[in-house]
Amino acid sequence: MARLSDVIEMFIKQAIEDMQGVAEIQRNELATRFKCVPSQINYVIDTRFTNNRGYYVESRRGGGGFIRISRANVRDSGGYLMHIISSIGDEISQQDAFAFVKNFVDYDIINVREASIMKAALSDKILMGVNQAGRDSLRSVILKNMLISLTV
């Protein structure tokens, strides 16, 4: 049996698919539908619909508030990659970098072989001689440069 978080995630993904890439949901309505607390909905959105998983989340609070979740337009891979480059920041962990690489494969931006090469260059093993903060900073620069080369 699937966990409630998995069921909520599948429901939201189906809503995004049905609405051609963008779904607007109301947190309280979704919580009522799944008989859970609204914070459970927040948890699913915060952990499963992130930039590094290829989603944009926008929310507006208040009586008519909503949460709009958009799937990144990967058909325009250059625009998608530029968005990712700008969202990475000055540091990135190995785990987050690998999540980006997995999404690039899932969206057919790179192939499995290219992903393996990227992961090798971004791994903690290769950056072992650098302290952790330095590793995450250097990894960010390396990843951004790889992505820029994919946009050309």
Give residue limits of the domains in the chain.
4-71, 77-151
Output the average pLDDT for the chain: 86
Residue indicated by tokens 């949901």: 25
Q: Which residues contact 152 (CB under 8 A, 6 or more apart)?
A: none
CATH superfamily of 4-71: Transcriptional regulator CtsR, winged HTH domain (3.30.56.130)
As a whole-number percent, the residues of the chain with pLDDT over 70 amount to: 90
The structural architecture, per CATH, of the domain 77-151 is Orthogonal Bundle (1.10)
In the chain, which ranges are continuous DSSP H helix? 4-18, 27-34, 38-48, 77-88, 94-106, 112-122, 132-151
User: What is the model's pLDDT at position 115?
Assistant: 96
The model's pLDDT over 21-30, given as tens digits with 9 standing for 90+, comes to 889 998 889 9
User: What is the model's pLDDT at position 57?
Assistant: 85
The model's pLDDT over 96-109, given as tens digits with 9 standing for 90+, comes to 999 999 988 988 88
Rounded to the nearest 5°, which phi and psi values hold at 2? -75, 145
CA 128 to chain centre: 26
Overall pTM > 0.75: no
Q: What is the three-class DSSP state of 69?
A: strand
Q: Which residue has the higher pLDDT, 103 or 143?
A: 143
